[in-house]
Structure 1
Amino acid sequence: MTLEQFYDNKSPWPDRNNQKVLFILDARNSLDEEILRKWIEVHSDASAAFDAPQVVIDLKDERTGFDSGQLVMSLALPADTIIAPLRVNWSSDDNRGRLRYLVFGDPRKPSPRKGRKVLEEHPERVNLLAGAPDTMANLQARFQNQQGTDQTVSQEEFANFVARQAAVVLDLEERKLKGGRYKMPRHVAAALMASAEYNAELDALAEATGKSKDALMKEAAGYMEEMVSTPSSFWIDFYARFNNFCLGLGYEEDIVYDQAALEKTRTVVRNHPSILLWTHKTYLDGMVVPKVMYDNDFPMPHMFGGANLNFPILGHLLHRAGAIFIKRSFQDNELYKITLRHYIGYLMEKRFPMNWSFEGTRSRMGKLMPPRYGLLKYVMEACYYTGAENIHIIPVSISYDIIRDVEEYATEQTGRGKGAESLKWFVGYVRSLARPMGKVYMDIGEPVVLNKAPNPDDRLALSKIAFEVAVEANQVTPITLPSLVTMSLLGAAPKALTEAELVADLEALLAWAESRQLRISPDFDRAFGDHLEGPLGIMIDENIVTRYDEGPEVVYGIGLEQHPVASYYRNTVIHFFVNKAIIELALVKATEMPESWALEVFWREVDRMRDLFKFEFFYAPTEEFHQQIRDEMSLYSEDWETLVGQGAAGFGALLQNMTPLVAHVTLLTYTEAYSVVAAMLARKEAYDSLEEAECIADALTYGRQVYLQRRISSESSIGKLLFKNAYKMLQSRQLTEGGADDLKEKRLEVARELREMIRRIDVIRAIGVANSGSV
């Protein structure tokens, strides 16, 4: 392409009917300005040039602002004047952020010297953009509507508004060339500061606190400097490369996900205010969603993160790639809350998807943690006050074959503290990823759709939303081979399994999951029995699984010291098996009662266990839960109620169709941990209270003792989170506060019930082992 062809390619002039045209030239430097003026000149005649003043302005982001002085003077034009923004877009052979660009300069933002060389040698890499034009009258009307009728505004504020609108329409044109991944908010702080709603809230706060409006604005500007992300094409590209690098150190290149589900999500994000809430197991989770989004040309998702990650270098990178750093605690800071709410509302209104971990912290046990309501509350408040409709909350489950953090979690659960995040820590963490860890899986659930956001004071509605997201996230968590391997081998421990026994267990577990139409990883190799060493290789290298091949048969097992680590992987899919485990234990209980009571005892025991573990698992509402139990029992026998009423004989008949048995591998860890706390509480006098912190500290030492006495089966039953939930259970039954004399007997009764439950789990385990394998 010659320079003449370059300029002749299209005209910058908008359609006009004897109207003046005001060109806004978005020029970073003298070369940009020269190119844009030449472009206008090539397509002009003498009369046109007279009617078309040109204003040069560099549309930087709001942190550095822009000099709107020329624009203020130029806006004193007739109302029908057409304002036409123009920009030069520079591309490169490799439109991806590279580290060398930081040293030698980004070729997409060349200096005048380098730009002239590109223009002469590669004019095809230079694109002239004309943003959608609009009239002065239309812009004034929109500006007044945004400001409200009660505000006195200056010409400078209107000029800034026009400049921001010019940046928006030019960005739209640029994205047609660069792709949807580069959709990013611009001039956010300036837009918030100019918002009538934001100003009204600050006026009210000034009156309530006695502070001046100017002081509040200055303080709010500092908060915006801290929280508002300032993304750019370069840093989005660079962050994508950084994500690829970190994930690629230990994981296979391609993340496993459903392309159809992703395309459905694209439509949702494009048309509705959207939030992607993901499960959190490792620091790498925050890289998985952005990577998949970037690779599929999605708009950059804004990610919330704690201010603890805003340390040098990493904080700089994340902030410019869409991260929103927020304070850990700001409950008493009304100005901060107002600013955050309006920022979120702005992003939702402009269809910028947001994403964060709704658990709030990494799961230290593998299973889903209770949701944290803080961020969700503020997002829902923003949606409520801005009148957002059809809000789509999309659950995303992120899973891994092997997770580097699990060793750290196991150590933490013994009572040792977690090290503070820092640049040195982060470098060490990244280096530790350089070992084979298998695959990464990202699964997208059905959106939880809200016609409108609930009232901010409606805590029940908020908890219901979080619960629905959690249930859907659990539902789409895939069953992977490592999760089934650890489930099988933990069920057999301390016994090791031969290869044939292990394959039989895995096939039974997989068949059960398939018959219930559970989510199974799409790349799950059904022929794992033919080459078992491959999938197990990484787990053996990581010392999660032991392999002994010096005898006549190869056997696999899990060392006692590795139970906490192996339990983590088992727990990632444990929610699928909880109802079945409850059924098995309820049936054992029912068979030990008179036959006339058996069915009643069965249901009473089902509800008792549901209540016992209510702080561990997410259950459906009572009626739906009962129906799930009936449906599962019907798969064993259509006449199951009659068989339950027949006691041991009926149980024996049901057992024929109940393979695999899972109560021992699903609930033993939790029951043993609860029994430790209950036994410790039962030793106290009725008038003694037990505080949570004291409970956890004492349970860690007492748990170690009873493990050494082999009164509990493994160290996986010793952990801070397990003991914390056991305390919550006892507290919910009003057993932790000292009281009347009969309180000691109530405490003893709970301890006895848990010991009895362990006995019934042992019954299930014995039956399972006797029937070959472990499950």
Structure 2
Amino acid sequence: MILNIYLELRGMHAFRGKIFYPYVIDHKPRFFLSWLLYRLFKRVSLDENMKEELKQMYRQGTVVYAAKYRGYLDYLLYHFNFRRARLPYPKIAFDLNMTLFVPLTHIVNVLTSHLSFFVRNGRLPSPYQTGFYKNAIQQGTTSLIFLVDPKGFAKQFVRSEKDHLEFLLETQKEMDRPIFVVPQLVLYKMTPEKDYSNLGSLLFGFKDNPGTIRKTVLFFRHNRRAFIDFGQPLDLKAYLRSQSSSRPLHEMAAEIRQTLIESIDMQKRVILGPIMKSKHQIKQVVLMDKRITKEIEKAAHGNDKSLRQLKKKAGRYFDEIAADYNMTYIQSFLVALNWFWKKIFEGVDVDMAGLAKVREWARKGTLIYVPSHKSHIDYLILNYVLLSNHLHVPRVAAGTNLAFWPMGHIFRQCGAFFIRRSFKGEKLYSEVLSRYIKALLEEGHPIQFFIEGGRSRNGKLTLPKTGFLSILLNAHREGFCKDLIFVPASIIYDRIMEEKSYLKEIGGDPKERENFRQMIRARRLLKRRYGKIYVRFHDPFSLNEYLSQTDLPVKGIRRNLASHLGQSINAISLVTPLSLIATAILANHRRGFHLSELAETTDILLRFLTRYEIPLAATLSDPSKAVKETLSLLINWKVIDFLEDAEGEGEIFYYVDEEKKLELEYHKNSIIHFFIPHSFVAISLLSGSEEAKSPESIIADYAFLKNLFKNEFIFDDNEGIQEKVISVIEYFHDSAFLFQSEENGGYKITKLGFDNLPIWAALAKTFLESYW
């Protein structure tokens, strides 16, 4: 009676209609707290590709984030970062008491409303039983649940309350709008997890679920690199539709929990890579393999001394090959590369949409990156892009020519493993190398290799090699990996750092061997600017799916897959202003040109590229500006010179010295594959004495040229010659370069065609000259 009077005096019976809970953060922090949180969380980044999807889900239904483990710091981080980014941010954390982080007035409201409820009911209010959580979800309030929560489970078990996911399923049944459960994780450190623990893990919690002390230390040490990522969202409404109406909710909740946890763990593997074994552990796996021990015993011929020597040799082979992955080296190298790119390049232009697809496919299998190879820095560029965008850095197949001190040690620590150019007859070396690659795939490590083998010296993609691909296919066939996801990539440079050495090699000079002295001499490269770097990704594809669509024998599969990878790289090769202008000059203005003439030729080529939806650099959206800027750049590089009219009235005449044309050839060759079919047809149309060229004659000429250059260009063997020729003729017909005679069905060239077809024919001129 006395307590009731006291509550009336305090006005606490006003809370009978509304109960406050300590699980809610929905206030704008005060000035000091706002400043502190901004300082703490401002460097934390999140997956940009999910922003629009999160907003879309929020418009359509209720967003519920799902973290694997409960944590105060994680909730604060999600709440304030998403709020600052204008994303749906969690206002409620299920069963997580946030009393220390809410305003005093809210604490008072919680205490008084709970006390009032207790007086009236003899127990404290439950947010499940009072409908607090249910109303919040039905009203679209963004929330946060925890999938692995021992404290929460104990409370639910004692109070007979529903599991979070079971509760959400029950609530979804009463809602028209969907509930989207979005798995998420926050990583404070990008170091791969190891498969062994130490004393620190026992005392302060394992890295997968660090204790309060460890998590706090991790945050304050690594908050600048902290990253929030998301797994695959789950639509509960769609999920319920797919289930039997008689299936128990607790079974569905258990299945969903496992799916969400697997999604979070998989996303962690995408960023951190698989749980990592030490180099010594991998060495044991490789050297104890039955095939290697059998090969050693076979070569020893029963001689114990030879057996010991061969075992030592196998160990030396492993040490010669194997990477020694070290995240400290990688992060330090990233800092150095950041400085390096800014020093000599004008930026790295990355296909972010393509990279987002790579991230999605990384959840499905082991990634195999297959980039083009034009420079020694290709693998540095690709790894830099992946690491900067929170994707695990692959192990990189490198030639032993890069194993010189000290770079060999640094590259090895950054994930490179080294392969000899040739090991014919070295059966034991071949077995050790093959088993090492299989061990990497077995552990789930992504791999990067160059399908061309060595670097391209002339700018175009060289014919694919199948040696390394054979090892990968054998590993897949022998069950060392469930699937391989191939990621073709193209790396395009405005200017190659090794350009001068390539030109010397093309001129007949021997290739210089890479060594420390050469690296020291390369300091002069830092004084130059090399324009932009462009990185593009083809749609990844599954080896399992690829194999399901073919019935070729193993050798045929290897050859076709290599060709498919080469075609994929070519398909995404970006046309830059430099490559386009170089192509225009060499096709129509080898002796010189005025600006207006170059602009006209460029426009002809651009219309062709646009018609076939060939990828263009953004700067080509303004062709006139691109032509002028590129011309200025080539003049600065002393590739192009010019003559001004003495009276200053006429147009400036530009020309290229004969010895500088090879530099332009290099840039032209990077996109030559787009023009080759049309060049072959143009050559056919312009050759011969017939007044009208028959379709059969054009097809025969095309077939001859394709066969002649079969070792020069990568052709699509699945595309018929007749279909290709007809397609090209249609383009030339639409461009008014030719018309079909009514008399014999042959094709005659128009006046416009005589003006323009030589441009197309000239594109293959240097290759014809070198073959004839």
Correspondence for 2:243: none
Quote how far apart the aligned CAs of 1:192 are. Answer: 5.0
1:502 partnered with 2:598 = yes
The residue type equivalent to 1:535 in the other structure is T
Quote how far apart the aligned CAs of 1:266 are. Answer: 1.4
After TM superposition, list the pairs within 5 Å mapping 1:654-693 onto structure 2.
655=752, 659=756, 661-675=758-772
The residue type equivalent to 1:241 in the other structure is V
1:222 partnered with 2:316 = yes
Out of 657, 666, 680, which is 1:559 matched to? 657
Consecutive unaligned residues in structure 2, runs of 5 or more: 1-69, 73-190, 208-212, 223-263
1:626 partnered with 2:722 = yes
Out of 683, 699, 703, which is 1:607 matched to? 703
Quote how far apart the aligned CAs of 1:603 are. Answer: 1.9
Q: Which moved more, 1:327-336 or 1:483-492?
A: 327-336
Report Cα offsets for 1:24-67 as digits up to 9, x if no partner.
xxxxxxxxxxxxxxxxxxxxxxxxxxxxxxxxxxxx99x9x99x
Report Cα offsets for 1:304-324 as digits up to 9, x if no partner.
111111111211111101000
Correspondence for 1:271: 364
Q: Structure 1: how far apart are the matches of 2:464 and 2:493? A: 21
The residue type equivalent to 1:204 in the other structure is K
- 1:649 and 1:394, CA in 2 relative to 1: closer, same or farther beyond 3 A? closer
- 1:655 and 1:619, CA in 2 relative to 1: closer, same or farther beyond 3 A? farther
The residue type equivalent to 2:345 in the other structure is Y
Correspondence for 2:404: 311
Q: Structure 2: how far apart are the matches of 1:549 and 1:423? A: 46
1:200 partnered with 2:290 = yes
Q: Structure 2: how far apart are the matches of 1:443 and 1:645? A: 46
- 1:589 and 1:490, CA in 2 relative to 1: closer, same or farther beyond 3 A? closer
Q: Structure 1: how far apart are the matches of 2:535 and 2:438? A: 27
Correspondence for 1:241: 335
Secondary structure of the 1:451 match is helix
Correspondence for 2:276: 185
Quote how far apart the aligned CAs of 1:259 are. Answer: 1.0
Quote how far apart the aligned CAs of 1:645 are. Answer: 7.3
1:572 partnered with 2:670 = yes
The residue type equivalent to 1:418 in the other structure is K
Report Cα offsets for 1:638-657 as digits up to 9, x if no partner.
89997167699952349559
- 1:475 and 1:303, CA in 2 relative to 1: closer, same or farther beyond 3 A? same
Out of 452, 457, 475, which is 1:382 matched to? 475
- 1:453 and 1:350, CA in 2 relative to 1: closer, same or farther beyond 3 A? farther
- 1:467 and 1:579, CA in 2 relative to 1: closer, same or farther beyond 3 A? same
Correspondence for 1:98: none
The 8 Å contact of residues 620 and 626 in structure 2, kept in 1 or not, is answered as: no
Correspondence for 1:134: none
- 1:445 and 1:206, CA in 2 relative to 1: closer, same or farther beyond 3 A? same
Report Cα offsets for 1:430-487 as digits up to 9, x if no partner.
5314312211111111335321898999333211111111111111101111111111
Aligned length: 529
The 8 Å contact of residues 358 and 539 in structure 2, kept in 1 or not, is answered as: no
The 8 Å contact of residues 181 and 294 in structure 1, kept in 2 or not, is answered as: no
Percent sequence identity over aligned pairs: 21
Quote how far apart the aligned CAs of 1:298 are. Answer: 0.5
Q: Structure 1: how far apart are the matches of 2:662 and 2:379? A: 25
Consecutive unaligned residues in structure 1, runs of 5 or more: 1-7, 11-59, 72-82, 91-117, 128-171, 676-775
Q: Structure 2: how far apart are the matches of 1:389 and 1:624? A: 34
Secondary structure of the 2:495 match is coil
Q: Structure 1: how far apart are the matches of 2:501 and 2:573? A: 23
The residue type equivalent to 2:295 in the other structure is L
Q: Which moved more, 1:368-377 or 1:425-434?
A: 425-434
Q: Structure 2: how far apart are the matches of 1:182 and 1:87? A: 23
The 8 Å contact of residues 365 and 484 in structure 2, kept in 1 or not, is answered as: yes
The 8 Å contact of residues 737 and 752 in structure 2, kept in 1 or not, is answered as: no
Out of 681, 684, 706, which is 1:583 matched to? 681
After TM superposition, list the pairs within 5 Å mapping 1:541-556 onto structure 2.
541-551=636-646, 552-556=650-654
The 8 Å contact of residues 640 and 654 in structure 2, kept in 1 or not, is answered as: yes
The 8 Å contact of residues 371 and 470 in structure 1, kept in 2 or not, is answered as: yes
Correspondence for 1:761: none
Correspondence for 1:537: 632
Report Cα offsets for 1:159-196 as digits up to 9, x if no partner.
xxxxxxxxxxxxx99996x992576732244245247x
Secondary structure of the 2:581 match is helix
- 1:288 and 1:578, CA in 2 relative to 1: closer, same or farther beyond 3 A? same
1:489 partnered with 2:585 = yes
Q: Structure 1: how far apart are the matches of 2:505 and 2:524? A: 21
- 1:581 and 1:658, CA in 2 relative to 1: closer, same or farther beyond 3 A? farther
1:651 partnered with 2:748 = yes
Q: Structure 2: how far apart are the matches of 1:453 and 1:656? A: 42
- 1:570 and 1:453, CA in 2 relative to 1: closer, same or farther beyond 3 A? closer
Secondary structure of the 2:477 match is helix
The residue type equivalent to 1:186 in the other structure is K
Correspondence for 1:404: 497
1:636 partnered with 2:732 = yes
Secondary structure of the 2:398 match is strand
The 8 Å contact of residues 589 and 602 in structure 1, kept in 2 or not, is answered as: no
Quote how far apart the aligned CAs of 1:370 are. Answer: 1.2
Secondary structure of the 1:274 match is strand
Q: Structure 1: how far apart are the matches of 2:757 and 2:578? A: 18
After TM superposition, list the pairs within 5 Å mapping 1:127-142 onto structure 2.
none
Give the alignment's TM-score, normalised by structure 2.
0.62
Out of 451, 475, 480, which is 2:576 matched to? 480
Q: Structure 1: how far apart are the matches of 2:766 and 2:448? A: 33
Report Cα offsets for 1:708-765 as digits up to 9, x if no partner.
xxxxxxxxxxxxxxxxxxxxxxxxxxxxxxxxxxxxxxxxxxxxxxxxxxxxxxxxxx
Correspondence for 1:346: 439
Q: Structure 2: how far apart are the matches of 1:489 and 1:305? A: 36
Q: Structure 1: how far apart are the matches of 2:645 and 2:598? A: 18
Quote how far apart the aligned CAs of 1:380 are. Answer: 2.1
The 8 Å contact of residues 643 and 654 in structure 1, kept in 2 or not, is answered as: no
Secondary structure of the 2:460 match is coil
Q: Structure 2: how far apart are the matches of 1:392 and 1:173? A: 19
After TM superposition, list the pairs within 5 Å mapping 1:442-453 onto structure 2.
442-451=535-544
Correspondence for 2:11: none
The 8 Å contact of residues 251 and 440 in structure 1, kept in 2 or not, is answered as: yes
- 1:654 and 1:503, CA in 2 relative to 1: closer, same or farther beyond 3 A? closer
- 1:479 and 1:578, CA in 2 relative to 1: closer, same or farther beyond 3 A? same
- 1:632 and 1:428, CA in 2 relative to 1: closer, same or farther beyond 3 A? same
Q: Structure 2: how far apart are the matches of 1:434 and 1:291? A: 22
Secondary structure of the 2:503 match is helix
Q: Structure 2: how far apart are the matches of 1:175 and 1:516? A: 36
Correspondence for 2:430: 337
After TM superposition, list the pairs within 5 Å mapping 1:241-260 onto structure 2.
241-253=335-347, 255-260=348-353
After TM superposition, list the pairs within 5 Å mapping 1:760-775 onto structure 2.
none
Q: Which moved more, 1:226-235 or 1:629-638?
A: 629-638
Q: Structure 2: how far apart are the matches of 1:650 and 1:264? A: 44
Please, what is the CA RMSD of the aligned residues? 4.0
Quote how far apart the aligned CAs of 1:532 are. Answer: 4.2
Q: Structure 2: how far apart are the matches of 1:437 and 1:511? A: 28
After TM superposition, list the pairs within 5 Å mapping 1:26-175 onto structure 2.
125=220
Correspondence for 1:372: 465
Report Cα offsets for 1:661-691 as digits up to 9, x if no partner.
533431111111222xxxxxxxxxxxxxxxx
Q: Which moved more, 1:628-637 or 1:618-627?
A: 618-627
Q: Structure 1: how far apart are the matches of 2:276 and 2:552? A: 26
